[in-house]
Amino acid sequence: MGMMVNGGHKTVTIRAGTAAAGTAPLKIASGIILTTPEVGAIEFSTDRLYHTQTTGTSRRVVAAFDAASAATRIINVCYHCNLWARSGCGRKRKYWLWWRR
């Protein structure tokens, strides 16, 4: 790929998959996460997707909601308190998920 060309900066275009099994456009294998977080890293381990931010090199878990409930919920985010709130539209019930460091 010539990673040193242009200072190692490249663009990647991923072709679309199809509806057939085994044709997903991008797959990330589950593995052991890095001992020391690296800025910009994307990692996947035991059903959790992680990314490492540039500020403070903190590794974060990407919150995931199933597609069916995400379509009918409002997702509120508080970055300062590291808390995600998922509440039903027009309902009093709230679901809380922690944004884990």
Same domain membership, residue 72 and residue 53: no
What is the per-residue burial (b if ≥16 Cβ within 10 Å, else e) of 67-80?
eeeeeebeeeeeee
State residue 34's pLDDT score.
93
36 — alpha (psi -120 to 50), left (phi > 0) or beta?
beta
**Looking at the domain assignment, is residue 96 inside a domain?**
yes
Q: What share of the chain is helix, strand, coil (3-state, %, to 5)?
A: 10, 30, 65
C-alpha R_g of the chain: 17
Mark whether 71 and 101 lie in a shared domain. Answer: yes
Residue 88 in tokens: 């039903």
Instruction: Tell me how many domains the chain contains.
Output: 2
pLDDT value at residue 45: 92
Low-confidence ranges of the chain (pLDDT < 50): 1-2, 88-101
User: Which pLDDT belongs to residue 67?
Assistant: 60
Residue 56 sits in the same domain as residue 77: no
Q: Are residues 58 and 71 in the same domain?
A: no
Q: 1 lies in a domain?
A: no
Domain that holds residue 71: 67-101
